[in-house]
Amino acid sequence: MKKLFLLVFISFVFSCRTSVETNSVKEVRVQNAAVVTAHPIASEIGLQVIKDGGNAVDAAIAVQFALSVCFPRAGNIAGGGFAIYREKDGTGYALDFRELAPKAAREDMYLDEAGNVIPEASIRGALAVGVPGSVDGMDQLFQRFSKLNNWDRLMQPAIDLAEKGFYLTEMQEDDLAKVQESLNKINKNETSFTASRKAGQKFVQKKLAEVLKAIQKERRYGFYTGWVADKFVETMENNGGVINHLDLLHYKSEWRQPAEFYYRNHRILTMPLPSSAGVVLPQVFEMVSQYNLPGGGFHTPTSIHLVAEVERRAFADRAMHLGDPRFNRVPLYNLMHHDYLMDRMKSFSRDKATPSSEVREGVFTDRESMETTHFSIVDNEGNAIAVTTTLNGAYGSHLVCEGGGYFLNNEMDDFSVKPGVPNLYGLIGGEANKIQSGKRMLSSMSPTIVDYPNKSLKMVLGSPGGSTILTSVFQVISNVIDFKLDLNGAVQAPRFHHQWLPDQIMMEKGGFDSHTIQVLEEKGHTIKEVESIGRVEAILIEGDGTIVGVADKRKDDHASGY
Ligand code: DON
């Protein structure tokens, strides 16, 4: 009898844990603060930091480290990202902790002797890794904006998670199963990811816990120097990578001026170069604003056609003009000039798709002198932070740091490996985004904050999804401002995407009726149905001050608040 009771009790506890951690909450409506991330545990950790007196930045730091443990697909310490922070008084800040090309990187490093791209070289294994920025980025955020001023406290939940373990969700089990073979091929030694993992099993990462403790003790130096750096460099050397100790030591994240523009009287703050968000989003909003998008109706062929045509033109510019501005002159003024954008739309026809072969990047004669996982947080004082952080592809290069237990990014693939050859996201690039030592690779990550016309905070949002990040962020903002959807409706609505090349509209399967698709095809569009586009975590402050946090329904994403 006693035994039976024990068994029932254990299975009760077990089922509570798994259900608490897998049943993600998609919408919270609260009065004080909200934290929306890709994983329920990370959202709760962030919220607790705020309840304990931390601000949005403190919560973001705790979330970033927690995601590196409970969301290894994209959460990271060996990746990079961008943060847009808006203080309660409206002042905006942008932190660029993007990876960069190591000193030994060369333009032709992924080409064979005949000049052909070596398959997967920029995607899998040690050569695909860019010098990571996340730990320095968190240290920078901490130094400048922490309210708690207690780094130990911010790191402790991640350390506990790694050391004591957590329960994997069903989506994580499926997700890991898909990459198991590749992980075992790429990693010569046993890692935490060697054995297949099941949902509801406790997942402990001892080596990662040790690395996190080193970072807890010495902040950035715990990662970029000492035994942790030694293990990183050894992993490079054992696996044909080129990042050395100096690359690590010299990594520095950069404070930048946020890209700022207006759409229907709303100020929008997003990430400037090396993220393409600061160019593509203002271009798309400006081109769209010359038409009556709302009048075309929500998700009608008319509206989808307009947006796809605008995106086609903006992505042509992205491909050919954008790259790290420290290395190339990017004609920013020209690219965002109203007259130029109106000129771009002269070839727009309401009835017919313009084939991408007839759309080129803009040509400027008057050269000017001289751009994953996302989380959104609003704290109880009204400060807001949007952070998008990534290993690039899921589980990055698939290479786990030997003796470190964490995934290394494959961000080098965001460079244009060879002009005209598409990357992981089908994006092509030109001279402006070619590989150069010390250069940051062009990004689409778009952490974004929107104000009301009265200048108070309206929305905080962002998404993973490579090139589709830009259009996911655009559509959620447009769904709210143009089509008056509530935040949940705006985030969960089906999405579509055009990126110039390939010349097609990607549309979420089952999200659009057959009539809409037929009309778009009649206009000359090629439609490619895909499972899902983007994974948006968003917060909206309603007129009466209610904070609405919405997590994307597409995966385990979770909104917390109080
Ligand atoms: O920076 C970029 O644009 C890409 N490395 C982002 C990768 C990404 O969103 C992966 N998520 N699905």
Closest residue by Cα to atom 11, ligand 1, is: 465
Write out pLDDT tens, residues 108-158: 999 999 999 999 999 999 999 999 999 999 999 999 999 999 999 999 999
Number of the ligand 1 atom closest to the C-alpha atom of 411: 5
Q: What residues does 386 pair with on adjacent strands?
A: 84, 376
**Which tokens go with 439?**
């250069």
Task: Indicate the pLDDT class of residue 365, thresholds 50, 70 and 90.
Answer: low
Peptide bond into 274 cis (omega under 30): yes
Write out pLDDT tens, residues 223-274: 999 999 999 999 999 999 999 999 999 999 999 999 999 999 999 999 999 9
**Which tokens go with 154?**
């911010």
Whether the predicted pLDDT of 368 surpasses 90: no
Peptide bond into 502 cis (omega under 30): yes
Please tell me the number of Cα atoms within 13 Å of 39 on its side-chain side. 29
CB of residue 383 inside a 6 A radius of ligand 1:
no
Write out pLDDT tens, residues 60-106: 999 999 999 999 999 999 999 999 999 999 999 999 999 999 999 99
Distance from the CA of 538 to the center of ligand 1, in angstroms? 18
Distance from the CA of 314 to the center of ligand 1, in angstroms? 18
Closest residue by Cα to atom 1, ligand 1, is: 443
Q: Using DSSP bridges, classify how beta strands 527-530 and 505-508 pair: parallel, antiparallel or unpaired.
A: parallel
Q: What pLDDT shows up at residue 367?
A: 43
Q: Is 300 a catalytic residue?
A: no
Report the distance separating Cα 312 and Cα 317, nearest Å. 9
- Per the model's pLDDT, the better-predicted residue between 15 and 480 turns out to be 480
CA dihedral 395→414→40→96, nearest 10 degrees, is: 130
CA–CA distance from 553 to each of 27, 477, 529, 532 (Å)?
Answer: 10, 17, 19, 11
What is the average per-residue pLDDT within 413-440?
A: 92
Distance from the CA of 89 to the center of ligand 1, in angstroms? 31
Structural domains in the chain? 2-104+129-255+375-414 (no CATH), 259-371+444-556 (3.60.20.40)
Q: What pLDDT shows up at residue 22?
A: 53
Q: Which of 372, 390, 471, 516 is catalytic?
A: 372
Radius of gyration from C-alpha coordinates of the chain: 23
Look over the chain and give the mean of its residue pLDDT values, rounded to a whole number. 94
Number of the ligand 1 atom closest to the C-alpha atom of 467: 3
Residue with tokens 């949940």: 488
Task: Indicate the pLDDT class of residue 15, thresholds 50, 70 and 90.
Answer: very low
Report the distance separating Cα 468 and Cα 520, nearest Å. 20
Distance from the CA of 466 to the center of ligand 1, in angstroms? 4
Pocket test for ligand 1, best of 318, 392, 409 (most atoms within 8 A of CB): 392
Which residues, in sequence order, are CB contacts of 55 under 8 Å at separation 6+?
145, 146, 147, 148, 379, 381, 383
Q: Note the helical H segments in 187-300.
A: 206-218, 220-224, 226-238, 245-250, 277-289, 293-296
CB of residue 464 inside a 6 A radius of ligand 1:
yes
Report the distance separating Cα 73 and Cα 394, nearest Å. 5
DSSP 8-state secondary structure symbol assigned to residue 439: P
Which regions of 357-453 does DSSP assign to beta strands (E)? 373-378, 384-390, 448-451
Q: What pLDDT shows up at residue 18?
A: 33
Phi-psi group of 365: left, alpha or beta (phi > 0 → left; psi -120 to 50 → alpha; rest → beta): alpha
Contact 128, 121 (CB under 8 A): yes
Q: Note the helical H segments in 346-415.
A: none
Whether the predicted pLDDT of 10 surpasses 60: no
Report the distance separating Cα 478 and Cα 519, nearest Å. 22
Report the distance separating Cα 455 and Cα 460, nearest Å. 14
Report the distance separating Cα 412 and Cα 242, nearest Å. 12
Contact 537, 551 (CB under 8 A): yes
CA dihedral 158→424→502→311, nearest 10 degrees, is: 30
**216-235 core/surface letters (b: 16 or more CB in 10 A; e: else):** bebbbbbbbeeebbebbbeb
Closest residue by Cα to atom 5, ligand 1, is: 392
Distance from the CA of 7 to the center of ligand 1, in angstroms? 45
Report the distance separating Cα 351 and Cα 341, nearest Å. 20
Residue with tokens 């009265």: 454
CB of residue 99 inside a 6 A radius of ligand 1:
no
Which regions of 417-553 does DSSP assign to beta strands (E)? 448-451, 457-462, 496-497, 505-508, 527-530, 537-541, 547-551
Which regions of 264-348 does DSSP assign to beta strands (E)? 266-270
